[in-house]
Amino acid sequence: MSSVPVLPIDSGRYGSVESKAIFTEESRLKYMLEVEAAVANAEASLRLIPLKAAKEIALKSNVKLVSYEKWKEIEKTTKHETASLVEALVSVVSDESKPWVHYGLTSQDILDTSLSLQLKDYIELIEGKLKNLILLLGKNAEKYLSLTSVGRTHGQHASIISFGQKFAVWADDCMLHMNRLSEIRPRVMMCKTLGVVGNGSVIGSKALEVMEITASKLGLYPVSSATQVVSRENYAEFVWWCALVASTCDKIATEFRNLSRTEISEFEEEFSKDQIGSSAVPSKRNPISCEKISSLARLLRSLPTVALENIPLWHERDLTNSANERFIIPMSAILLDDVLDTLLKVLAKMVIREDMVKANIEITMGQVYSEFVLDVLLKKEISRSEAHKILREVSSKSRSKGIQFKSAIMEDERINRLISEDELNRIFIPEAHIEGSQAIIKGTLKRIKEKLGK
């Protein structure tokens, strides 16, 4: 019977090749051996183990000599992955070096620190994609700077905005995510080499120094204190960050899905020549990529709950976090990678129907300008409550009679004696009301340039 993937991540359906390569078991072995080598060199530099032994351990801590197959074959007997790794490494070094393999360490030192190396590589990858997303959002904010559109609240037409403001808001959100990533980096990329209960018992007074040297060699941050494990708050924060970024992508995708409704028709996903939208309705073009983003974001938002449950462990540690972390951390990382890749493709190939964006402003027959009529009335020294009441009545009349809001205003003596026809005509020009939007967009574009240099 052939082996087939169980999870769609493994089938190639979700996640880039680059992100998945970071979290394979083979890659994890490579990272674990890197940690063993770095610790041995650090200990030798402080004369805790022989320099000759450290050099040999470092030289032979590679996947050619300690292969994935060899590691897993030993694990069948030991039922312990880190002990199996140590045994495999011991088997390839000389008798003189054997006592110094894994010296002063416990399994979790290797597991947590190698996980930090995985996350270090992942953060570099995902940060690049986040930068690309910010640049693409900024490009669209600038492109649609002067495109007037409807701003909607509660699904209803509310006022006039620049269409580009949508993209500016999203770009600012993503720049904040980059700030958060910079802030959590030292807490996620932790190096811990403090032994069985986090007290450096075998190494003693030089335990912290060993860890500092090891962290420096690996490009990580030494943990300030720990039990047998790095505090799980750190990983909960990473899983939460992934869910937060995915939720912003979901926000963007949800807006696009709404704008693609037949009744709105302002947005279209790319639809290739031979693509099929529906098996039953040949004419359909569904926003399936945006829907995928929303679907994966729902899953990502569920994972921080598990990560938070992993924080309270018994005494200096137990294993209740171990099994589920093998799911939630790689899943959070790989699925976020897929969400970002999908959104980047959507943005690169989307169609914004500017004709419909402009046409939709007129759907309410001018009532979208009521805020600006109210403003003019207030400046004529009418109380807000009175002006508001008058415009509500005129709005109801416009709806019931099916006439333009401006016409209903001109028929109302309470208003037309205060506002001239010329003043009224100037109010009903959409371009007159996006200066604020344009200033916001320009501010965002300036921040993007300052942050990313582009």
Report which secondary-structure segment, H or E, holds 161: strand 156-162
What whole-number distance in Å separates Cα of residue 285 and Cα of residue 173? Answer: 29
SS3 366: coil
DSSP conformation letters of 418-430: TS-HHHHHHHT-G
Quick one: which of 310, 426, 326 has its CA closest to 7? 326
- How many CB atoms are located within 10 Å of the residue 46 CB? 12
The one-letter amino acid at 96 = E
Cβ atoms of 104 and 193 within 8 Å: the answer is yes
Quick one: which of 247, 255, 251 has its CA closest to 302? 247
Catalytic site residues? 154, 278
CA distances from 324 to 118, 134, 319 (A): 17, 32, 10
Angle, in degrees to the nearest 10, between helices 107-143 and 81-90: 110
DSSP E strands: which ranges in 241-310? 267-268
What whole-number distance in Å separates Cα of residue 41 and Cα of residue 57? Answer: 9
CA distances from 351 to 155, 266, 339 (A): 22, 8, 20
What whole-number distance in Å separates Cα of residue 215 and Cα of residue 268? Answer: 48
Task: Give, rounded to a whole angstrom, the gap between the first and last alpha carbons of the chain.
Answer: 53
- How many CB atoms are located within 10 Å of the residue 432 CB? 13
- What burial class does residue 65 get, using C-beta atoms within 10 Å of its C-beta: 0-12 exposed, 13-18 middle, 19+ buried? middle
What whole-number distance in Å separates Cα of residue 130 and Cα of residue 53? Answer: 43
CA distances from 329 to 112, 118, 121, 361, 432 (A): 12, 10, 14, 45, 49
